[in-house]
Amino acid sequence: MTMRVSIMGSTGSVGRSALSVMAHAGSVSEDPVFSIDTLTANSDVDTLARQSITYNARLAVVADDRAYKELKSQLAGTGIEVAAGADAIAEAAARPVDRLLAAIVGIAGLRSTYSALKAGNSVALANKESMVCAGPLLKRVAQKTGAHIIPTDSEHNAMFQVLERQEDVEKLVLTASGGPFLKTPLANLHNVTPEQACAHPRWSMGRKISVDSATFMNKALELIEAAYLFEMPQQRIDVLVHPQSIIHSLVAYRDGSVLAQLGSPDMKTPIAHALSWPERRLPTDVERLNLVDLAQLDFLAVDDARFPAIRLARQALDEGGGAPTVMNAANECAVEAFLNGRCRFTDISDVVEAALGDRSLSGVSAGDAASLDDIIALDAEVRQRSGRLIAEASLRTGS
Ligand code: NAD
Ligand code: MG
């Protein structure tokens, strides 16, 4: 049976991996496996147009309005519909499909994720920031419409694969590769460059998530993502550094069993699982594990002094309400500032900590009952103050 799929953020790292999973599945099958409904991008019109033609999409949407004309002209005569703007992306996410892959980066992906679930579309969720900022809201709307949320972030997909009865779970164990600076001397951390931060030892990813991996903020966001996805208190989620990234996460049960999911560190496996769940029918060309060659797997505890992010995530979850949104927004702004040379690497977690400590900000929260508009307003408020928070953090470190 042909599956109809839309990809929000098809030009990014996850989006491109998903298209390659689909192309591979199509190439080894006699029947068409997928048909593409919608592909979207922020502003990379050339890639979006090329993908839309190659994969025979019905609709291509670019977020940046200024790129509309160019997209229209590149797709002229193809019969592919064209639209532009954030509203158009949210509307496109509501078109009926068998599965929608949410692969936009940042809270920019929230509206389309919400809109898809509200329309009853099952969502393969890579866009962790939408779960971090709006976990309870997204779970509520999915429950109402019967749409499934299939975790696609590799760790959450791993847990989802080995999760049996939720009530029998003792602990979730989230694994972390440790990123590029696991062993960098502490004194050198404030001088690292964006290029060094983006050179991840195991995974090839977009720039924002690469910086997040280097600060451990990625694992911090994933801790919040896991708490909401699996409705688990943070005290029952452990974080374990596992540099080889072969075990993608574990679930410990009350009978003493611990179930893990293993595989090569390649997003194509969780994407293939999330696209075909509850089946496992998509073959991938991912490198197969050779345990004899690997010989050894290592595990370490997280160094909280070096990377305060995990502690901040636990604090945000304990505080609840809008705190995870505050944390996420401050991080998005600080990462952008770091990538543009406006602050140092070590300022990022200082900015997040300062935002979380800003009482007037967290007070804006509407608790777990927050609406989409509440969350977007809180995010906007943090962004407005972030310039000042970043300047203050830079002053303290003398950058
Ligand atoms: P990326 O930067 O490579 O791609 C992001 C995509 O989002 C692009 O298609 C871009 O055009 C689009 N986009 C960016 N800003 C937008 C905006 N304002 N409006 C609309 N579209 C916008 O990012 P990525 O590495 O593919 O990550 C995507 C998401 O998946 C992130 O939430 C990330 O945390 C998550 N994730 C990524 C990986 C990975 O291996 N890359 C693994 C797990 C989870
Ligand atoms: Mg992950």
Q: pLDDT tens digit string along 63-108?
A: 999 999 999 999 999 999 999 999 999 999 999 999 999 999 999 9
* Domain limits for position 133: 3-151
pLDDT at 305: 87
Residue with CA nearest ligand 1 atom 23: 206
> How does pLDDT run across 309-341, given as a tens digit for each residue?
999 999 999 999 999 999 999 999 999 999 999
- CATH code (residue 47): 3.40.50.720
**33-43: per-residue pLDDT in tens?**
999 999 999 99
Ligand 1 centroid to Cα of residue 103, in Å, is 5
Domain count, the chain: 1
* 222 Cα: distance to centroid of ligand 2 (angstroms): 7
In Å, how far from its chain's centre is CA 47? 21
CA distance 304 to 320: 21
- Residue 87 has a pLDDT of 98
User: How confident is the model at residue 235, as a pLDDT?
Assistant: 98
Q: Is 13 annotated as a binding residue?
A: yes
State ipTM: 0.99
Of ligand 1's listed atoms, the one at least distance from the Cα of 204 is: 40
Is a pLDDT exceeding 70 seen at residue 377?
A: yes
Closest atom, ligand 1, to C-alpha of 89: 20
* 85 inside domain: yes
Residue 184 domain-assigned (yes or no): no
Per-residue confidence at 203, pLDDT binned at 50, 70, 90?
A: confident
Residue 266 within any structural domain of the chain: no
Q: Which ligand is nearest to the CA of 155?
A: 2
Q: Is residue 373 part of a domain?
A: no
CA distance 78 to 387: 44
C-alpha of residue 136 to centroid of ligand 2, in Å = 20
CA atoms within 13 A on the CB side of 284: 22
**Ligand closest to the CA atom of residue 339:** 1
Residue 143 lies in a domain: yes
Q: Is 155 annotated as a binding residue?
A: yes
Cβ–Cβ < 8 Å for 122, 100: yes
Calculate mean pLDDT across residues 207-215: 96
Residue 57 C-beta-side C-alpha neighbours within 13 Å: 26
Using alpha carbons, select from 365, 359, 337 the residue that is nearest to residue 349.
Answer: 337
> How much distance in Å is there from the Cα of 67 to the middle of ligand 1?
19
Cα 106 to middle of ligand 1, angstroms: 7
Q: Is residue 118 part of a domain?
A: yes
Nearest CA owner, ligand 1 atom 20: 42
Find the mean pLDDT for residues 272-288: 97
Mean pLDDT of 287-303: 95
User: How high does pLDDT run on average in the chain?
Assistant: 95
Per-residue model confidence (pLDDT) at position 399: 53
Q: Kindly report which listed range (224-228, 350-354, 358-362) carries the lowest average pLDDT score.
A: 358-362
Q: Is 296 left (phi over 0), alpha (psi -120 to 50) or beta?
A: beta
Whether the CB of 105 sits within 6 Å of ligand 1: yes
Neighbours of ion ligand 2 (CB under 5 A): 153-155
| 106 annotated as ligand-binding | no
Q: Rounded to whole angstroms, how far apart are CA atoms 165 and 141?
A: 22
257 is in an annotated binding site: no
Residue 199 counted as domain residue:
no
For residue 19, which ligand has an atom nearest its CA? 1
Q: What pLDDT does residue 363 have? A: 56
pLDDT digits (tens, 9 = 90+) for 129-155: 999 999 999 999 999 999 999 999 999
Domain assignment present for 79: yes
